[in-house]
Amino acid sequence: MIPLVHDFTDQTVLVFGGGTVGERKARRFAAEARVVVVSPEFTDALAGTATAREATHETWRPSGEGPGIELVRDAPTADTVSGWVDRVDPTLVVAATDVEAVNEAAAAAARSRKVLVNRTDRAGGRDAGSVVVPATVDDGSVSVAVTTGGASPALSKYLRERLEDDLAGAGAMADLTRDLRTDLKTRDLTPGERRAAMRRVVRSSRVWKALRTGTTNARKVAEDVIRIETTNPSEREREDS
């Protein structure tokens, strides 16, 4: 499986199953996508953060209220999941019920319509169009995803926890270097010199410390690092040593 990053803005995710797994998936996507959860029952936490609707698959219609979580109280069966996929027209189908036949039917309905599918009761070998939702660590605009291809969620979680401390300040570093890259393009530097300066900044322990502690101005520290890199080779050698 090849990792990709997908923007779910203005798209819909259809989740079958309102238990703890369905809740976790719904919360994960609700920040960007409109999420519709179809289940006869929902966790208390999910019910408390969503718009609940008493409905059947014959009468329910999307509200058009934008991103968030909508709960549809209906018991999906192997015969009815296809109808839900047609009505909701999702970008991704999440099969998270505790009934294998329902999950299989949901996956089949998604595949037949060339829709991505995340089946939560399967690991290892997967069909084309399958999606694994990785464990992620986020710091501002920086995200790092860890996946074992569904083989070991426990290992993914463990590795994610180990990465959390290492990524502290990464979002701020991304923002800082974005601004510096723009500024460096206005200076009398070759592309190679600009790349070397940016490499020096992202590897500088002084810049990372400034970003993480806030005790000094990180931009000024970075500018000093760039000055040393671009104008004073002897000072750069002393700093390296």
Sheet holding 92-95, edge to edge: 51-54, 68-73, 34-39, 12-16, 92-95, 116-119
Bridge partners of residue 163, in order along the sequence: none
Q: Is pLDDT at 64 greater than 50 in this prediction?
A: no
Cα within 13 Å of Cα(129), Cβ side:
16
Neighbours of 153 (CB within 10 A): 16
The model's confidence at residue 61, banded by pLDDT at 50, 70 and 90, is very low
Give pLDDT, residue 2: 77
d(CA 104, CA 78): 8
Pair 61, 82: CB distance under 8 Å: no
Q: What is the mean pLDDT of the chain?
A: 85
Give pLDDT, residue 235: 59
Token pair belonging to 192: 């190679």
Pair 197, 232: CB distance under 8 Å: no
Percent of residues, the chain, with pLDDT higher than 70: 85
What is the average pLDDT across 20-38?
91
Give pLDDT, residue 170: 94
Q: What is the pTM of this model?
A: 0.74
Percent of residues, the chain, with pLDDT higher than 90: 54
The model's confidence at residue 240, banded by pLDDT at 50, 70 and 90, is low
Q: Which amino acid is at 89?
A: D
What is the average pLDDT across 167-182?
94
d(CA 54, CA 40): 10
3-state secondary structure the chain: CCCCCCCCCCCEEEEECCCHHHHHHHHHHHCCCEEEEEECCCCHHHHHCCEEEECCCCCCCCCCCCCEEEEEECCCCCCCHHHHHHHHCCCEEEECCCCHHHHHHHHHHHHHCCCEEEECCCCCCCCCCECCCCEEEEECCEEEEECCCCCCHHHHHHHHHHHHHHCCCHHHHHHHHHHHHHHHCCCCCCHHHHHHHHHHHHCCHHHHHHHHHCCCCHHHHHHHHHHHHHHCHHHHHHHHC
Please write the tens of the pLDDT for every residue from 148-160: 877 788 898 899 9
Q: Is pLDDT at 66 greater than 50 in this prediction?
A: no
Give pLDDT, residue 149: 72
Please write the tens of the pLDDT for every residue from 116-149: 999 988 764 567 667 888 888 889 889 898 888 7
Please write the tens of the pLDDT for every residue from 73-107: 899 999 999 999 999 999 999 999 999 999 999 99
